[in-house]
Structure 1
Amino acid sequence: MSIRVEPLTLDTVHQLPPHTSRCLFWEIDPDAMSKSHDVCDSAFEKEAWISSVLLGWGSCGQFLFLDNAETNSEYVAGCAIYAPPNVVPRAKVFPTSPVSADAILLTTLYVDGFAEAEGFHQTLIQAVVADLVRRGVRAIEAFGHERDGEISWRDFHAVHQRAGDCRPHTCMISAARLRDADFIEVAPHPEFPRFRIELDSDHGWKADVESALTRLLESASLTMTPPAEPGKVSVGG
């Protein structure tokens, strides 16, 4: 199986998975959304937000590509989106806000069913870490969602301020997944804990080595000579 991770760009934003391409949970000010139940064109608004972050700050996402054996082509099996918290309006409304001043906020970590079963969300996180280490970022933070957590009406209303708003299980990263990825819980909460992972040169070194090994193994699998059939002798040229 071939695995490829590539940064999100202006030319590839249209490849975002269907829900991610339309979801404005993180990108639109909840106060503004609470005044109207409708957004004219959610896909346009999402693309506009991504374009603004890309042009003003730089890379803000990663795509995970996998092979589709049936069509003999690759497809987007997952994506990660991250940005400075000051350009993520929803980041200010959580009971565990604010995000630390030295951290970038990971808002989206989506993988399809197969990629999740194979643990490829870790591959996406490694790509995010490698990108941010190279850019000198000190930490990544994320608001996790405790799937079975208990929450007060006040906390729920603070995060979800309008009818029809996306639910946490569709638009937030599960707390369990963040723990599996070695994020540390820095602000506990029954449903919306905030997590953090410190970045240093070791993270970048490990991610680069793992990426190089993956490319080496993929190259070897493509160039390896198949074993000779029984009874036949291969003659070197």
Structure 2
Amino acid sequence: MARKVDRLTLDNLGSLPGHGATCTFWELEPVRRGRIRGHEAEEKAAWLSGMLRDWGSVGRVVSVDGVPAGHVIWAPALHLPGGDGFATAPVSTDAVLLGELYVDDEFRGQGLGRVLIQSMAKDLIKHGGIGAVETFGAHRPRADVCVLPVDFLLAVGFKTHRGHPRYPRMRMDLRSTITWREEFEVAAGRLLEVVKRPARQPAPHPSPRGVPFREAGGSATRGLLSAEGPRPGATPGPVGAR
């Protein structure tokens, strides 16, 4: 199966699996969600358009063999007011808020959720000026509330930042991600250097007066020519010959 991760844009918003194109749980506060009922897709597109223009990338879409299989959406907490209603809000000032993360039932169990989290972290590291990602996890997830299970968040690198019996605030520190990434890249670079480096040939050990060692006819024993050189008129035999 071929996996591909793309930026979330207005072109692929409508193809998001599940209710991704119409879910406004995070993007709008409850009162406004009630007012725009029936026009969720237009509101979602307007929200995404404004974020892409004013802030930058806020999502990824993962496809398997060309079929959209899942997506993730994040943004500064100011732009995801749906998070304000949680008892453990607000999100820390150095963090962005992870809102939606969804993988279609057909593609679950293939690690796509982790792929989306890693893609998000990589994008935020490049963005710069962001210390962490936070979100609200659910100890008892509900199908009608777009909140990720705590167990999933723990498995992909989040830690409990502020506990709660139902919806704790979870945090993934990007500085730890950067440190791990740098250490991995250094280790990988050293490994490649060792693999590519040609093996060194052992240097010959000089004998007295510069006469080199010579191997004796396939034997492991090494001998020396006489330091004085061959006698006049004599033809040197093999090393060690008398």
* Other-structure match for 1:186: 161
1:167 counterpart = 2:165? no
C-alpha separation between the residues in 2 aligned to 1:111 and 1:33?
A: 23
* Local SS of the residue matching 1:15: coil
| CA-atom RMSD in angstroms | 2.3
Measure how far apart 1:205 and its partner are. 4.9
Question: RCO (CA 8 Å, sep 6+): is it higher in 1 or 2?
Answer: 1
Give yes or no for contact 1:79–1:111 (8 Å, CA) kept in 2. Answer: yes
C-alpha separation between the residues in 2 aligned to 1:208 and 1:91?
A: 35
TM-score w.r.t. length of structure 1: 0.71
Q: Which amino acid aligns with 1:142?
A: T
Judged with a 3 Å threshold, the aligned counterparts in structure 2 of structure 1 residues 148 and 197 are, in CA distance, closer, same or farther, namely: closer
Q: Which amino acid aligns with 1:126?
A: Q
TM-score w.r.t. length of structure 2: 0.69
Measure how far apart 1:138 and its partner are. 1.1
* Other-structure match for 1:76: 68
* Other-structure match for 1:49: 47
Q: Flag structure 1 segments of 5+ consecutive residues without an equivalent.
A: 68-73, 150-165, 210-237
* Other-structure match for 2:87: 95
* Other-structure match for 1:30: 30
**How many residues end up aligned between the 2 structures?**
183
C-alpha separation between the residues in 2 aligned to 1:20 and 1:119?
A: 19
1:113 counterpart = 2:105? yes
Q: Percent identity?
A: 37
Measure how far apart 1:120 and its partner are. 1.6
C-alpha separation between the residues in 2 aligned to 1:186 and 1:123?
A: 23
Measure how far apart 1:30 and its partner are. 1.5
* Other-structure match for 1:58: 56
1:85-106 alpha-carbon deviations (Å, 9 max, x no partner): 0011111111000000110101
Measure how far apart 1:115 and its partner are. 2.9
Which structure dedicates a bigger proportion of its chain to helix? 1
Measure how far apart 1:16 and its partner are. 1.7
Q: Which has the larger radius of gyration?
A: 2
Give yes or no for contact 1:129–1:207 (8 Å, CA) kept in 2. Answer: no
C-alpha separation between the residues in 1 aligned to 2:183 and 2:71?
A: 21
